[in-house]
Structure 1
Amino acid sequence: MQTDAQIQAHLENLIDPNSGQAYGAVWQVTGDSNRLHLSLTLGYPAQTEQDALIARIKESLAEPRDVLLDIEHQVESQATQGDIPGLTGVKNIIAVASGKGGVGKSTTTVNLALAMAKEGARVGILDADIYGPSQGMMMGFAEGTRPQVRDEKIFIPPMSHGVQVMSMAFLTTKDTPVAWRGPMVTGAMMQILTQTDWNDLDYLFIDMPPGTGDIQLTLAQKVPVAGSVIVTTPQDIALLDARRGIEMFNKVKIPVLGVVENMSTHICSNCGHQEAIFGDEGGDSLAAEYKVDVLGKLPLSLAIRQHSDAGNPVVVSESESEAAGIYQSIARKLGATLASQQDNQFAMPTIGMSDD
């Protein structure tokens, strides 16, 4: 039987599948002749990984004793771009973006947020797509839902599935178009962001509108963003637009934490045959080009679409499904990547005009 010190040393060198690095000195080991009790403290939430990690530890150690594992997390606020003041009640803001519409960005945002909450984090969603807000419907809010208001100016975000949500959908009706010019749109986005009483969030996911326009520039200049996620499909035109999104975040010094490839393959519901109808390995080539990770690949799935439209996303409605498992893996990898960021304070670039 190995000593506690030997087990401790072994576990510290074990590779964390979410970060790709050794766990290091984050373990506590106690045991007796019948039971081994382990405590793991991570910088990101990973509660759903407990059973798999216990099995891996027992196999790795060839440990005959019962293994008890407690996974705890301490999410810290990470560095952001420039000297922008932090947002009250929020530790880390993560922008979920795409270069173009129709690639499943909002679906990714909602399932990623719910997956992160299931891992044990306190999570919120800000729907920054002022013209076409969709998070209200995807999170299952009844039509006509309105946030409570405190002191005539502070929104109390409604909650669904344990996640705090704020959206323009709560302030308009589905039949009311938002016919606003750019400054009004960015003003509305900043208002619902800064005048919402976010309650002790580890992560606030911002569902960005497609493109690289007013909302994105305002976000970069006025909002303390810890990192971004790029959502794309393998299709060449989607990858072209995703590159623009990555380039924009690079220019404003917001780290790109990884790429999520939607509609990676189509799986026939009758025979199970898989076919890459939108292209093959596009997300991998994009990630390699910009030296970021592919956080995960989602199939073109009828269930994902149906559950999102019904306001009951697949992470909560089919929590044991393959798709839900992929979202959970993406959430853990995202949290680990953000926690391991070594970036220091950033300086905002100056904007100039040129003829080329």
Structure 2
Amino acid sequence: MENGGGGGGGGRSDVPDDANEHCPGTQSEDAGKADACAGCPNQQICATAPKGPDPDVVAIVERLAMVKHKILVLSGKGGVGKSTFSAQLSFALAEMEHQVGLLDIDICGPSIPKMLGLEGQDIHQSNLGWSPVYVESNLGVMSIGFMLPNPDDAVIWRGPRKNGLIKQFLKDVDWGEIDYLVVDAPPGTSDEHISIVQYLQATGIDGAIIVTTPQQVHEVR
């Protein structure tokens, strides 16, 4: 997919097109005050503008109201088996006859479609929103991998644009009434992790699973 270019909003209504990379958003309490705001042409406006609740967060809460449990899967480094764990956890829950959703928010390196044999599948849209791709009748999957014209296409996006798609996944995907939503996060600690935790906190996230291995190279300190 095309390079995200500047730090623009990329789908986030609270990020100006000419914003700096890592923009916290105009509705954030840190708007105009965060380190990322230094030198931004909108800094003064953001710092003095009245703040209000993010309407997208309200939409996310409403969308996920029928999801009973939300589990975030994280890792400090890549290559530790995080996505494999997310996929196997989802299958295990589905085998127990739960209704399960698996959300892949690794925007720049989606691996879930390949792991589940879903490469080449497309996302369909209805009047209820984006429909997940189903690997089993009770296991739906959503990933940016389903949006790529070619599975080898690179996604080179800045933070605000990636966060915008994550927010869109949360508020626009029609999971229906499900028991578990497993969220496979990208490795590391970056914008995507801050955003997903912020968005899911409002919905009542149940917890997080951190996948690691004992090698020192996989430590993050």
Is 2:217 the counterpart of 1:234? no
Given candidates 77, 81, 103, the residue that maps to 1:100 is 77
> 2:55 maps to which residue?
none
Q: How far is the alpha carbon of 1:95 from its aligned partner?
A: 0.3
Residues 159-213 of structure 1, C-alpha deviation per residue, up to 9 Å, x if partnerless? 0033110000011131321111100001011112221000211110000000110
Q: Contact 2:70/2:206 (CA < 8 Å) preserved in 1?
A: yes
**Unaligned regions of 5+ residues in structure 1, if any?**
1-82, 245-356
Distance 2:116 2:180 in 1: 17
Given candidates 124, 141, 144, the residue that maps to 1:168 is 144
Q: Contact 1:88/1:198 (CA < 8 Å) preserved in 2?
A: no
> 1:128 maps to which residue?
105
Larger Rg: 1
Given candidates 208, 219, 223, the residue that maps to 2:185 is 208
Q: CA RMSD in A?
A: 1.8
Identity of aligned residues (%): 42
1:107-256 alignment runs, 5 A limit:
107-141=84-118, 143-151=119-127, 154-161=129-136, 162-172=138-148, 173-223=150-200, 224=203, 225-238=205-218, 240-241=219-220
Q: Contact 1:89/1:197 (CA < 8 Å) preserved in 2?
A: no
Distance 1:144 1:221 in 2: 31
Distance 2:195 2:144 in 1: 17
Q: TM-score, normalised by structure 2?
A: 0.66
Q: How far is the alpha carbon of 1:236 from its aligned partner?
A: 2.4
Q: Secondary structure at the match of 2:182?
A: strand
Q: Which has the higher contact order (CA 8 A, sep 6+)?
A: 2
Q: Contact 2:166/2:196 (CA < 8 Å) preserved in 1?
A: no
Residues 224-252 of structure 1, C-alpha deviation per residue, up to 9 Å, x if partnerless? 322100101121232x32xx6xxxxxxxx
Residues 274-332 of structure 1, C-alpha deviation per residue, up to 9 Å, x if partnerless? xxxxxxxxxxxxxxxxxxxxxxxxxxxxxxxxxxxxxxxxxxxxxxxxxxxxxxxxxxx
Q: TM-score, normalised by structure 1?
A: 0.42
**Unaligned regions of 5+ residues in structure 2, if any?**
1-57
> What is the letter of the counterpart of residue 90 of structure 1?
V
Q: How far is the alpha carbon of 1:106 from its aligned partner?
A: 0.2
